[in-house]
Amino acid sequence: MIIYKVENYEEMSKKAASIIASQIIMKPDCVLGLATGSSPVGTYKRLIDLYKEGYVDFSRVTSINLDEYKGLEPTNDQSYRYFMNTNLFNHVNIKKESTFVPDGLELDSDKACREYEEMIESYGGTDLQLLGIGRNGHIGFNEPGPVFVRDTHCEDLTQSTIDANKRFFAKDEDVPHQAYSMGIGSIMKAKKILLIAYGKDKAEAIAKTINGPITPKVPASILQLHNDVTIVADKEALSMI
Protein backbone atom coordinates (compact mmCIF):
# COMPACT_ATOMS: atom_id res chain seq x y z
CA MET A 1 0.00 0.00 0.00
CA ILE A 2 1.37 3.40 -1.04
CA ILE A 3 0.17 6.47 0.87
CA TYR A 4 0.59 10.03 -0.41
CA LYS A 5 0.02 12.75 2.19
CA VAL A 6 -0.97 16.06 0.62
CA GLU A 7 -1.81 19.47 2.05
CA ASN A 8 -5.34 20.00 0.80
CA TYR A 9 -8.15 18.98 -1.53
CA GLU A 10 -6.58 20.67 -4.55
CA GLU A 11 -3.32 18.78 -4.15
CA MET A 12 -5.23 15.53 -3.61
CA SER A 13 -7.17 16.11 -6.83
CA LYS A 14 -4.06 16.89 -8.86
CA LYS A 15 -2.20 13.84 -7.59
CA ALA A 16 -5.14 11.51 -8.18
CA ALA A 17 -5.68 12.91 -11.69
CA SER A 18 -2.02 12.40 -12.53
CA ILE A 19 -2.23 8.74 -11.48
CA ILE A 20 -5.36 8.18 -13.61
CA ALA A 21 -3.86 10.07 -16.55
CA SER A 22 -0.73 7.92 -16.35
CA GLN A 23 -2.89 4.80 -16.52
CA ILE A 24 -4.60 6.07 -19.68
CA ILE A 25 -1.29 7.04 -21.28
CA MET A 26 0.25 3.64 -20.50
CA LYS A 27 -2.81 1.75 -21.72
CA PRO A 28 -5.05 3.87 -24.00
CA ASP A 29 -7.78 1.20 -24.06
CA CYS A 30 -7.85 0.76 -20.31
CA VAL A 31 -10.93 0.10 -18.19
CA LEU A 32 -11.41 2.71 -15.49
CA GLY A 33 -13.60 2.09 -12.47
CA LEU A 34 -15.05 5.46 -11.49
CA ALA A 35 -16.64 6.90 -8.38
CA THR A 36 -19.03 9.72 -7.56
CA GLY A 37 -19.57 12.01 -4.58
CA SER A 38 -17.75 15.17 -3.57
CA SER A 39 -14.29 13.60 -3.30
CA PRO A 40 -13.58 12.98 -7.03
CA VAL A 41 -15.06 16.21 -8.43
CA GLY A 42 -11.71 18.01 -8.35
CA THR A 43 -9.97 14.97 -9.83
CA TYR A 44 -12.38 14.97 -12.77
CA LYS A 45 -11.89 18.72 -13.28
CA ARG A 46 -8.14 18.20 -13.49
CA LEU A 47 -8.58 15.30 -15.94
CA ILE A 48 -10.72 17.56 -18.14
CA ASP A 49 -7.94 20.14 -18.07
CA LEU A 50 -5.37 17.50 -19.04
CA TYR A 51 -7.62 16.41 -21.91
CA LYS A 52 -8.06 19.98 -23.16
CA GLU A 53 -4.31 20.52 -22.93
CA GLY A 54 -3.76 17.48 -25.15
CA TYR A 55 -2.13 15.21 -22.57
CA VAL A 56 -4.91 12.61 -22.26
CA ASP A 57 -7.06 10.88 -24.88
CA PHE A 58 -10.23 9.16 -23.66
CA SER A 59 -11.36 7.87 -27.06
CA ARG A 60 -10.49 4.23 -26.34
CA VAL A 61 -11.22 4.23 -22.61
CA THR A 62 -14.02 2.18 -21.08
CA SER A 63 -15.48 3.31 -17.77
CA ILE A 64 -17.45 1.29 -15.22
CA ASN A 65 -19.05 3.15 -12.35
CA LEU A 66 -19.29 1.79 -8.85
CA ASP A 67 -22.94 2.43 -8.15
CA GLU A 68 -26.27 4.11 -8.81
CA TYR A 69 -29.32 4.94 -6.74
CA LYS A 70 -32.20 2.56 -7.28
CA GLY A 71 -35.22 4.36 -8.70
CA LEU A 72 -33.52 7.43 -10.13
CA GLU A 73 -33.65 8.01 -13.88
CA PRO A 74 -30.43 9.03 -15.69
CA THR A 75 -31.71 12.58 -16.25
CA ASN A 76 -32.34 13.17 -12.54
CA ASP A 77 -29.74 15.67 -11.40
CA GLN A 78 -28.94 13.48 -8.37
CA SER A 79 -28.41 10.28 -10.35
CA TYR A 80 -24.85 9.11 -10.75
CA ARG A 81 -25.22 8.89 -14.54
CA TYR A 82 -26.09 12.60 -14.53
CA PHE A 83 -23.16 13.27 -12.20
CA MET A 84 -20.69 11.50 -14.47
CA ASN A 85 -22.01 13.19 -17.62
CA THR A 86 -21.87 16.61 -15.97
CA ASN A 87 -18.53 16.26 -14.21
CA LEU A 88 -16.54 14.30 -16.81
CA PHE A 89 -18.09 12.54 -19.78
CA ASN A 90 -19.59 15.61 -21.48
CA HIS A 91 -16.21 17.37 -21.42
CA VAL A 92 -13.85 14.72 -22.84
CA ASN A 93 -13.84 12.50 -25.92
CA ILE A 94 -14.93 9.29 -24.23
CA LYS A 95 -17.58 7.35 -26.15
CA LYS A 96 -20.82 7.33 -24.17
CA GLU A 97 -21.52 3.76 -25.27
CA SER A 98 -18.29 2.79 -23.50
CA THR A 99 -19.44 4.23 -20.17
CA PHE A 100 -21.37 1.98 -17.81
CA VAL A 101 -23.48 2.90 -14.79
CA PRO A 102 -25.97 0.54 -13.10
CA ASP A 103 -29.52 0.91 -14.38
CA GLY A 104 -31.34 2.64 -11.55
CA LEU A 105 -34.68 2.29 -13.33
CA GLU A 106 -34.47 -1.52 -13.42
CA LEU A 107 -36.64 -2.38 -10.43
CA ASP A 108 -35.84 -6.09 -10.68
CA SER A 109 -32.80 -6.00 -8.40
CA ASP A 110 -31.62 -9.52 -9.25
CA LYS A 111 -31.71 -8.78 -12.98
CA ALA A 112 -30.00 -5.39 -12.68
CA CYS A 113 -27.21 -6.74 -10.50
CA ARG A 114 -26.67 -9.94 -12.48
CA GLU A 115 -26.37 -8.07 -15.77
CA TYR A 116 -23.98 -5.49 -14.31
CA GLU A 117 -21.77 -8.17 -12.78
CA GLU A 118 -21.68 -10.05 -16.09
CA MET A 119 -20.58 -6.85 -17.81
CA ILE A 120 -17.77 -6.32 -15.28
CA GLU A 121 -16.61 -9.89 -15.74
CA SER A 122 -16.67 -9.52 -19.53
CA TYR A 123 -13.98 -6.84 -19.17
CA GLY A 124 -11.99 -8.86 -16.67
CA GLY A 125 -12.43 -6.23 -13.98
CA THR A 126 -10.99 -2.73 -14.09
CA ASP A 127 -7.40 -1.69 -14.72
CA LEU A 128 -7.72 1.09 -12.16
CA GLN A 129 -10.53 1.52 -9.66
CA LEU A 130 -11.06 4.96 -8.14
CA LEU A 131 -12.65 4.95 -4.68
CA GLY A 132 -13.84 7.46 -2.15
CA ILE A 133 -14.58 6.39 1.40
CA GLY A 134 -17.57 7.00 3.63
CA ARG A 135 -17.30 8.17 7.22
CA ASN A 136 -18.34 4.66 8.26
CA GLY A 137 -15.70 3.06 6.02
CA HIS A 138 -17.98 2.15 3.14
CA ILE A 139 -16.59 1.91 -0.40
CA GLY A 140 -19.04 2.11 -3.24
CA PHE A 141 -22.27 1.52 -1.37
CA ASN A 142 -20.87 -1.47 0.50
CA GLU A 143 -22.08 -0.55 3.96
CA PRO A 144 -20.77 -2.03 7.24
CA GLY A 145 -22.38 -5.39 7.93
CA PRO A 146 -21.82 -8.96 9.11
CA VAL A 147 -20.13 -10.15 5.88
CA PHE A 148 -18.39 -8.82 2.78
CA VAL A 149 -20.79 -8.97 -0.17
CA ARG A 150 -18.88 -10.27 -3.16
CA ASP A 151 -20.84 -9.30 -6.28
CA THR A 152 -22.93 -6.41 -7.53
CA HIS A 153 -25.99 -6.16 -5.31
CA CYS A 154 -28.82 -3.97 -4.08
CA GLU A 155 -27.73 -2.30 -0.86
CA ASP A 156 -29.97 -0.91 1.86
CA LEU A 157 -28.26 2.35 2.79
CA THR A 158 -27.46 3.02 6.44
CA GLN A 159 -28.96 6.03 8.18
CA SER A 160 -25.54 7.70 8.35
CA THR A 161 -25.20 7.44 4.58
CA ILE A 162 -28.75 8.68 4.03
CA ASP A 163 -28.08 11.62 6.36
CA ALA A 164 -24.83 12.44 4.55
CA ASN A 165 -26.70 12.50 1.22
CA LYS A 166 -29.55 14.74 2.39
CA ARG A 167 -27.64 17.90 1.49
CA PHE A 168 -27.87 16.97 -2.19
CA PHE A 169 -31.67 16.66 -2.27
CA ALA A 170 -34.42 19.27 -2.02
CA LYS A 171 -36.44 17.23 0.47
CA ASP A 172 -35.44 14.55 2.96
CA GLU A 173 -38.05 12.17 1.57
CA ASP A 174 -36.39 12.38 -1.87
CA VAL A 175 -33.20 10.71 -0.64
CA PRO A 176 -33.04 7.11 -1.95
CA HIS A 177 -32.74 4.36 0.63
CA GLN A 178 -31.34 1.74 -1.76
CA ALA A 179 -28.59 1.63 -4.37
CA TYR A 180 -27.05 -0.82 -6.79
CA SER A 181 -23.38 -1.22 -6.01
CA MET A 182 -20.36 -3.20 -7.13
CA GLY A 183 -19.58 -5.76 -4.46
CA ILE A 184 -16.32 -6.06 -2.58
CA GLY A 185 -15.25 -8.89 -4.88
CA SER A 186 -16.01 -6.76 -7.94
CA ILE A 187 -13.86 -3.94 -6.56
CA MET A 188 -11.02 -6.27 -5.60
CA LYS A 189 -10.82 -7.56 -9.19
CA ALA A 190 -9.23 -4.24 -10.14
CA LYS A 191 -5.57 -4.46 -11.06
CA LYS A 192 -4.90 -1.19 -9.25
CA ILE A 193 -6.97 0.66 -6.64
CA LEU A 194 -6.76 4.40 -5.98
CA LEU A 195 -8.52 5.68 -2.85
CA ILE A 196 -8.87 9.41 -2.21
CA ALA A 197 -9.93 11.11 1.02
CA TYR A 198 -9.91 14.54 2.59
CA GLY A 199 -11.08 16.17 5.80
CA LYS A 200 -11.13 15.28 9.49
CA ASP A 201 -14.45 13.48 9.17
CA LYS A 202 -12.67 10.74 7.18
CA ALA A 203 -9.75 10.36 9.60
CA GLU A 204 -11.20 7.51 11.67
CA ALA A 205 -12.29 5.57 8.58
CA ILE A 206 -8.85 5.98 7.00
CA ALA A 207 -7.09 4.89 10.19
CA LYS A 208 -9.22 1.76 10.43
CA THR A 209 -8.73 1.05 6.73
CA ILE A 210 -4.95 1.16 7.00
CA ASN A 211 -4.23 -0.09 10.52
CA GLY A 212 -7.39 -1.76 11.78
CA PRO A 213 -8.45 -5.39 11.57
CA ILE A 214 -9.92 -6.60 8.29
CA THR A 215 -13.62 -6.68 9.00
CA PRO A 216 -16.88 -6.16 7.12
CA LYS A 217 -17.72 -3.63 9.84
CA VAL A 218 -15.18 -1.42 8.03
CA PRO A 219 -15.61 -2.45 4.38
CA ALA A 220 -12.55 -0.51 3.17
CA SER A 221 -10.31 -2.57 5.47
CA ILE A 222 -10.44 -5.33 2.83
CA LEU A 223 -8.08 -3.18 0.75
CA GLN A 224 -5.24 -4.38 2.98
CA LEU A 225 -5.44 -7.67 1.05
CA HIS A 226 -5.03 -6.06 -2.40
CA ASN A 227 -1.51 -6.03 -3.83
CA ASP A 228 -1.67 -2.60 -5.50
CA VAL A 229 -3.44 0.10 -3.48
CA THR A 230 -2.58 3.79 -3.52
CA ILE A 231 -4.14 6.21 -1.04
CA VAL A 232 -4.02 9.95 -1.66
CA ALA A 233 -5.28 11.87 1.34
CA ASP A 234 -4.80 15.26 2.94
CA LYS A 235 -3.15 15.73 6.30
CA GLU A 236 -6.48 15.98 8.11
CA ALA A 237 -7.73 12.67 6.72
CA LEU A 238 -4.43 11.11 7.80
CA SER A 239 -4.39 12.82 11.21
CA MET A 240 -5.10 9.58 13.10
CA ILE A 241 -2.33 7.61 11.41
CA angle at residue 97 from 93 to 101, to 5 degrees?
A: 105
Taking CA atoms, 5 is separated from 14, 100, 101, 183, 198, in Å, by: 12, 31, 31, 28, 10
Tell me the backbone φ, ψ of residue 45, rounded to 5 degrees. -60, -40
| Annotation marks residue 115 as catalytic | no
C-alpha atoms less than 13 angstroms from C-alpha of 47 in its C-beta half-sphere = 29
| Annotation marks residue 67 as catalytic | yes
| Annotation marks residue 138 as catalytic | yes
**In the β-sheet with 192-197, what is the strand arrangement from edge to edge?**
2-6, 229-234, 192-197, 128-131, 31-34, 62-65, 99-100
Catalytic residue among 136, 142, 165, 234: 136
| Annotation marks residue 93 as catalytic | no
Catalytic residue among 68, 103, 127, 143: 143
Taking CA atoms, 234 is separated from 17, 32, 84, 208, in Å, by: 15, 23, 24, 16
Catalytic residue among 68, 127, 138, 142: 138
Residues that are catalytic: 67, 136, 138, 143
